[in-house]
């Protein structure tokens, strides 16, 4: 089995002037040290990425101008949505049915049952992120302006779980699927230990969360990044958190992820100061390139 590789979606934003030629933006794959390889379309806003893991190398992506699909590993792309689907924020593929895809947009959640050949609108409220349950067919949780919304029927219906507060990100443990965390704009980091049915505050960040993640090999290890408050790490399932911003050039962070290769490596992306990695849960950080960019998503795929 191939080693999972890190893919990011980003925009080369630092110093950009409206009307100037767009620097390389879109999808990049980490090649080691501070080197990255650009893949596919030079696009200013690809907000989310999901890999189908089929023989063709199908990639599904959310973008500012709609949902995009590549059937050849990112070499060519096609927008699958119509004019009514814009400002897409995130994308997730159902783990039991790879043809079912959830799309979070500024105008609600959209769902496809056929691999992005057709789309149906499921909700109308702003949704920033969505995560498909790794252990249940047709189950997903979305971070929306009104709170966390859960579906158990493949997106046909959605219901509020937890408090009604604007949410920005949500993540599930792969090793212990009952464990979830979520990031909010004003209520810090929330935690659920019953599959996302009930939620409680795990950390008061004093600033808006921007990303959350759980180590795929250890459900007790979690990461949260904030816009202005830096990075936080928990090693006990969200019971306690430690701030791990020392060594980072800015407390304005936009995304976080744990390495899917089993290394225990933690990744964070900063506002235009680059991507950083840590092999000791944030005690020290190593620069990994991409100064001048804004990262929208970090995904591991084989």
Domain ranges (residues) in the chain: 5-301
Positions in the chain short of pLDDT 50: none
pLDDT of amino acid 15: 72
- Residue pair 294/13 in contact (Cβ under 8 Å)? The answer is yes
Pairing of strands 159-161, 140-144: unpaired
pLDDT of amino acid 21: 74
**What is the CA 221 to chain-centroid distance, rounded?**
17
pLDDT of amino acid 263: 81
CATH 2.130.10.10 fits 5-301, yes or no: yes
pTM of the predicted model as reported, rounded to 2 decimal places: 0.96
CA distance 211 to 242: 16
pLDDT of amino acid 81: 97
**What is the CA 82 to chain-centroid distance, rounded?**
24
pLDDT of amino acid 17: 62
| SS (HEC) of the chain | CCCCEEEEEEEECCCCCCCCCCCCCEEEEEEECCEEEEECCCCCCEEEEEECCCCCCCEEEEECCEEEEECCCCCCCEECCCCCCCCEEEEEECCCCCCCEEEEECCEEEEECCCCCCCEECCCCCEEEEEECCCCCCCEEEEECCEEEEECCCCCCCEEECCCCCEEEEEECCCCCCCEEEEECCCCEEEECCCCCCCEEEECCCCCEEEEEECCCCCCCEEEEEECCEEEEECCCCCCCEECCCCCCCCEEEEEEECCCCCCCEEEEECCECEEEECCCCCCCEECCCECEEEEEEEEEC
pLDDT of amino acid 55: 83
CA distance 234 to 243: 9
């Amino acid at each position: 089995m191939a080693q999972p590789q890190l893919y990011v979606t980003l925009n080369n934003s630092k110093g950009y002037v409206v009307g100037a030629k767009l620097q390389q933006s879109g999808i990049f794959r980490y090649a080691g040290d501070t080197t990255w390889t650009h893949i596919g379309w030079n696009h200013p806003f690809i907000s989310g990425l999901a890999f189908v893991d089929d023989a063709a190398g199908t990639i599904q992506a959310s973008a500012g101008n709609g949902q995009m699909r590549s059937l050849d590993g990112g070499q060519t792309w096609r927008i699958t949505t119509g004019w009514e689907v814009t400002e897409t924020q995130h994308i997730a593929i159902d783990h039991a049915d790879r043809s079912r895809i959830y799309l979070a947009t500024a105008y609600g959640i959209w769902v496809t049952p056929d691999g992005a050949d057709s789309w149906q609108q499921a909700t109308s409220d702003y949704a920033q992120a969505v995560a498909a349950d790794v252990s249940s067919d047709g189950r997903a949780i979305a971070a929306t302006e009104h709170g966390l919304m859960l579906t158990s029927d493949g997106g046909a219906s959605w219901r509020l779980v937890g408090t009604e507060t604007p949410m920005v990100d949500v993540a599930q443990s792969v090793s212990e699927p009952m464990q979830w965390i979520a990031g909010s704009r004003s209520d810090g980091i929330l935690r659920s230990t019953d599959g996302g049915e009930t939620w409680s505050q795990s950390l008061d960040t004093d600033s808006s969360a921007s990303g959350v993640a759980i180590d795929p090999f250890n459900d007790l290890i979690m990461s949260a990044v904030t816009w202005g408050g830096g990075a936080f790490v928990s090693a006990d399932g969200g019971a306690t958190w430690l701030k791990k911003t020392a060594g980072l050039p800015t407390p304005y962070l936009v995304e976080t992820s744990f390495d899917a290769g089993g290394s225990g490596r933690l990744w964070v992306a900063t506002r235009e100061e680059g991507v950083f990695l840590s092999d000791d849960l944030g005690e020290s950080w190593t620069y990994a390139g991409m100064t001048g960019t804004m990262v929208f998503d970090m995904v591991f795929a084989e």
